[in-house]
A and B are shown apart, each in its own frame.
Chain A
C-alpha cells in the first residue's frame, strides 16, 4: 500500500490538520539521554503507572463503598467477601498505594542526588514535592476509610498532633476531624478529601509536573555532563525505545501487584469501637513511622517549649528547606551543593533509622 494513503498516515494527517503541523512532533522527537544513571529515569513513570492503578481501582471501590460509621466497615467487608474479585481490587488498591509512596520517594531522592532540580527544573522539583505531600494525604485519609480499630486510633493520634501547631492548632484539629473528636463526621470528611479534593489537586499538579518534564526533557546528571564536555550525551528516542522499556516495567509491576494482593491479602481488622480501649500495636503506615518515632522520643518539654511543638517546628523547617533545595543549590560543584548532598544523605539515614527503630520497638 502507498505509505501516504495508509490508515496511520491518514489519521496522522487528520490530527495534524487540527493540532497544527508539528504540533505532535514533541511526542516523536523526544530523546532520552543514555548513561549509567538512566535507570533512575524509570521511577517517575513507575509512580505514574501506580497512580493510574490507584485511580482505576479507587473508582471501582467507589461502586460499593459507603462512607458512614454504620456502613463503612460492612461495605468493605462486603467488597472483600461478596463482590467478585473485590478482594483483588481492594488488595491491589492498598498494595499499590504503598508501592506508589515507595517509588515516589525513590524518585525524589534519585532526583535529589543526581541534582535533577537544577535550573530550569526548579518547579519540576517543587511540584514533585507537592505531589508527595498529596500522596501522604491520600494515604492518611484512605487509611481511615475501612473504619477499623487500627485506623480509628491511628487517625486519632495523627490528627491530635495538629493541636500542637501554634495559633491555628485547635482550628486545624476541628477542621480535620469535623468536630472535637474522631467520629462519623471525620469519616465523611476524610472520604471527601480522599475522593474529591486530593484527586482534583493531584490531577492539576501531575499535569504540571509532566508538562515540565516534557518541556525540559530529562536532566543529565553533573557527573555525566562532565564526562561529555562537548555536550553530546548519547541518547535514544522516547518513542519507541524508552516507552517500550517503561511499559515492560509497568507490566512487571502489575504482576507484582496481583501477586502481592493474592499472596498477602490486605487485612480488614476489627470494626472500630470508639468506646473500647486502644489496643496495643497502634501505629501509622510505614511512611509516617519516622515522624511517629521522632515525636515519641522527644522529651515532654525542650527549652521551655512543648516537645510536640519542637518536633513539628523541626519537621516544618526541614520540609521547607527541602522544597527550597533548587534555589539554594546554584552550583552543584560548589560548597553549598556538596553540603546539601551530605544533608540529603543525613536525611535518608535518619528516615531509615527512625523507621526501623519504630518498626522493631
Chain B
C-alpha cells in the first residue's frame, strides 16, 4: 500500500535490518575464520610416547629396599625394589599438585616432599593431601632389563 511507502519508516527500517544482518553475519563469519585457526594453533599437538614400554633399570641396578625415578613417556615413574627383592612400579607424579614423589627407605613408604603426602607401596594415598592413589604400572623382568608398561588389563 502506498501509505507504507509514504510513511517512510517501516519498509526502510526493514531493509536496513536485512543489510545489517548480511554485513554482520559476514563480519562474524570472517572473525570466526580468523579466530578458529589461532585457537587451534595455541594448543600443541600431542607428542610423546605415553603408551610405550620403558626400560626402568638394569636387573642388577637396585638393591633391595631402594628405588629410582625413571622416565616413562614424558612423565617420571618410580621403580621400587622392596625388601623381599620384588619390584613395584608406579607413577611418580603426586596426585595432589604434580610434584615428584620419592621412596623412604626407613618408613617403607612413598612420600611427597611438597605437602607431606604419603602413599603406601601399593600406591594408596595413606595420609596428607593426595586425593587419589598413584597409578600402578606393570613390571616385567626381561633378561637384564626391568621393563615397565602401562597395565592394559587393569
Residues of A within 8 A of B (CB): 56, 60, 63-64, 82-86, 88-89, 251, 254
**A240: shortest Cβ distance to chain B, in Å?**
13
Asked if B40 is at the interface of the complex by the 8 Å CB criterion, the answer is yes
Contact with A along B39-61 (1 / 0, CB 8 A): 01111110100000000000000
**A56, A60, A64: the one within 8 Å of B44 (CB):** A64
Enumerate chain B interface residues (CB-CB to A < 8 A).
Answer: 30, 34, 37-38, 40-45, 47
Contact B38 A60 (CB under 8 A): yes
**What 10 new A-B contacts, CB under 8 Å, besides A82-B47, A83-B45, A85-B38?**
A60-B41, A63-B41, A63-B44, A64-B44, A83-B41, A84-B37, A85-B40, A85-B41, A89-B37, A89-B38
Q: Is the CB of B37 within 8 A of A88?
A: yes
CB-CB nearest in chain A for B36: A85
29 residue pairs A–B, Cβ–Cβ below 8 Å: A56-B38, A60-B38, A60-B41, A60-B42, A63-B41, A63-B42, A63-B44, A64-B44, A82-B45, A82-B47, A83-B41, A83-B44, A83-B45, A84-B37, A84-B40, A84-B41, A84-B43, A84-B45, A85-B37, A85-B38, A85-B40, A85-B41, A86-B41, A88-B37, A89-B37, A89-B38, A89-B41, A251-B30, A254-B34
Q: Which chain B residue has the least Cβ–Cβ distance from A247?
A: B27
Chain A residues, Cβ within 8 Å of B38 = 56, 60, 85, 89
Nearest residue in B to A64 (C-beta to C-beta)? Answer: B44
> B125: shortest Cβ distance to chain A, in Å?
35
A-B contact count (CB 8 A): 29
CB A27 to nearest CB in B, in angstroms, measures 21
> Which 9 A-B pairs give the minimum distances between C-beta atoms?
A85-B37, A84-B40, A82-B45, A85-B41, A85-B40, A60-B41, A89-B41, A88-B37, A83-B45
Q: How far is the CA of A60 from the CA of B47 in the complex (A)?
A: 19
CA distance A88 to B43 in the complex (A): 15
Chain A minimum-CB-distance residue to B43: A84
Q: Which of A64, A85, A86 has most B Cβ within 10 Å?
A: A85
CA of A8 to CA of B42 in the docked complex: distance in angstroms? Answer: 34
Closest B residue by C-beta to A82: B45
How many Å from the CB of B25 to the closest CB on chain A?
15
